[in-house]
Structure 1
Amino acid sequence: MITVNQLTKRYGQHAAVDAVTFDAKPGRVTGFLGPNGAGKSTCMRMMCGLTPPTSGTATILGRSYADLPNPGRHVGVLLDAQAQHAGRTGREILTLGALTLGLPRTRVDELLEVVGLTQVEAKRRLRDYSLGMRQRLGIAHALLGDPQVLVLDEPANGLDPAGIRWMRSLLRGFADQGGTVLLSSHLLHEIQVIADDLVVIGRGRIVAEGAKDDLLAAAGTTVRSTDNARLAKALQDNGIDVTQGFGSLSVQVTPERVGRIALEHQIVLTELGSTSSTGLEEMFLQLTAADAREGAAA
């Protein structure tokens, strides 16, 4: 269980994270989403004791990360797969982690097998690893202590399609056995496939939070046409609020009503459906359109 309560981080007058509150529950995968610069990584660093909050709290299993005895035995963390000594081999990195956590060396071989790194690959130095191999090693390191909670920031970076499917199965199995997973990723399709709950953040504040299915079902209707401007006016003339998306319009009425209005005005529709059918990407873009800061660091 991860409990975040009014978590805030300020740098001077700038609030990188502003009163963020949510729970990541056992037995569930929580997708943590937001555009670049939204504050996701800063939040996760505060959860793991790497960045001190200005105010608010973040607890894991009822305690702050720093107060957990031998925290690696309770929480597995992957925030940056590059943050290991490039001159060490994969096996050396895992062995040092095992010794630090008080684990037998046999745990290293177990994890190498779990993440699909061969004995030959384990003997290579990290500087010779591909990004995908580094991600697998980072996931192995997070799993070393057989934790109850996983905090993973962009763990699918560099993984090929087979690797992404493997990771999806691994995390789903971890949650199904009662573990808590907090997963940040820009691969929205993967989040849609695996996540049970969603937390969407924009400019340091939560813009949506709840069960994935509930959020998608409540998102209304998405429509595209050959003349979105004229369609938007027709909908507004009928008392319907319209949200402009990326080449689409979103409204909180049924697809049937939108279709009838378009027919009355002889506007050709190229797409019409509930937002839940268009998926997480459309909902994400709509929720964060005003908050996106492409290119800024998270």
Structure 2
Amino acid sequence: MIEVKNLTKRYGDFVAVDDVSFTCKPGRVTGFLGPNGAGKSTTMRIIAGLTPAGSGSATINGVAYRDIPNPATHVGVLLDASAQHAGRTGAEILRLSATTLGVPASRVDDALAMVSLTPQEAGRRVRNYSLGMRQRLGIANALLGDPSVLMLDEPANGLDPAGIHWMRTLLRGYADRGGAVLLSSHLLHEIEIIADDLVVIGNGRIVAEGTKEELLAGTGSVVRAVDNNYLGQSLHAAGVAAHPVDGGGFRVEATPDVVGRIALDAQVHLVELRGGDGARLEEMFLQLTQQNQREQPQGVQ
């Protein structure tokens, strides 16, 4: 479990992280969301012991990272997939890590299999890897010590749709076996699919935290009709806010039963009516962070 309590980090007069508190629990995937420069990476670097906190605390299973004996056997970390020795092969990097951690050499083959890197790919030098392959290698390194906690910053960068599906399945299975996963990503749809809990940060402060169901509840409906113009007029006449969506139809700030009654009374022929699942996380994210967007100071995220 990861526990962050009243964490603050300043760079001169600039407050990168401002009194941040949240928990990442075992058996659950926690999505860590926020615009660029919101403080996500700084928070994760503090948790991983790479950046000192100004005040507050960040612990993993009750212990600060720097105080964990052989920490990579307790927490697997991937913050930057490009930070790997380009002149070594993927297998060499994992073998060196296994030696450093004191884990059996057999874990290298196990980790490569978990991330679907073939022996041929593992034998290539990292300079010849695509970004997606570097992500897989970085995740393999994070899993090498069989940790109980995983912390990944933008692990889907460079992955194709099949790779993103693979990663989603891997992390879901890891959490279902009791692991705690802290996952930062700008791919909101993927976070919505995989996450159990959400933590949203903006301008260095937590702006929302809770289960996915709690935070996304009551965010409206998606509706389409044979005559979308008439549907829009009917919703407006009923005093219900409706926002056009790509492909026709509306995202409506009302529940499906309310929208259905309005359509029935107006004799509008509907072709789709559902809860606003498809756009819910994006809508919530934009609403929560629109006042917290900021330019990112150089060297700080």
TM range (shorter): 0.7 to 0.9
Count of residues in correspondence between the two structures:
293
Equivalence for 1:34: 34
Equivalence for 2:69: 69
| Unpaired runs of at least 5, structure 2 | none
Post-superposition offset of 1:245: 11
Query: Does structure 2 conserve the Cα–Cα contact (< 8 Å) formed by 1:216 and 1:275?
Result: no
Post-superposition offset of 1:249: 7.9
* 2:4 alignment partner AA: V
Question: Following TM superposition, where does structure 1 have runs of at least 4 consecutive aligned residues deviating by more than 4 angstroms?
Answer: 220-226, 230-235, 242-251, 253-264, 271-277, 294-297
1:135-284 equivalence runs, <5 A: 135-220=135-220, 251=253, 254=255, 274-276=275-277, 278-284=279-285
Query: Does structure 1 conserve the Cα–Cα contact (< 8 Å) formed by 2:142 and 2:150?
Result: yes
* 2:293 alignment partner AA: A
Equivalence for 2:290: 289
Post-superposition offset of 1:232: 11
| Unpaired runs of at least 5, structure 1 | none
Query: Does structure 2 conserve the Cα–Cα contact (< 8 Å) formed by 1:217 and 1:275?
Result: no
Query: Does structure 2 conserve the Cα–Cα contact (< 8 Å) formed by 1:245 and 1:289?
Result: no
Query: Does structure 2 conserve the Cα–Cα contact (< 8 Å) formed by 1:72 and 1:147?
Result: yes
Helix, strand or coil at the partner of 2:164:
helix
- Amino-acid identity (%): 66
Distance 1:23 1:121 in 2: 37
Equivalence for 2:119: 119
Post-superposition offset of 1:219: 3.5
Post-superposition offset of 1:170: 0.7
Helix, strand or coil at the partner of 2:213:
helix
Distance 1:37 1:202 in 2: 8
Distance 2:141 2:70 in 1: 14
Helix, strand or coil at the partner of 1:147:
coil
Distance 2:109 2:223 in 1: 52
**TM-superposition CA deviations, 1:126-181 (whole Å, max 9, x none):** 11100010000000000000000000001111111111111111111110010000
Distance 2:111 2:14 in 1: 41
Post-superposition offset of 1:36: 0.8
- What TM-score do the two structures reach when normalised by structure 2? 0.84
- What TM-score do the two structures reach when normalised by structure 1? 0.85
Distance 1:21 1:27 in 2: 20
Structure 1's 175 and 146: CA in aligned 2 closer, same or farther, altered over 3 A? same
Distance 2:244 2:205 in 1: 20
Post-superposition offset of 1:294: 6.5
Alignment RMSD (CA, Å): 3.3
Query: Does structure 2 conserve the Cα–Cα contact (< 8 Å) formed by 1:86 and 1:125?
Result: yes
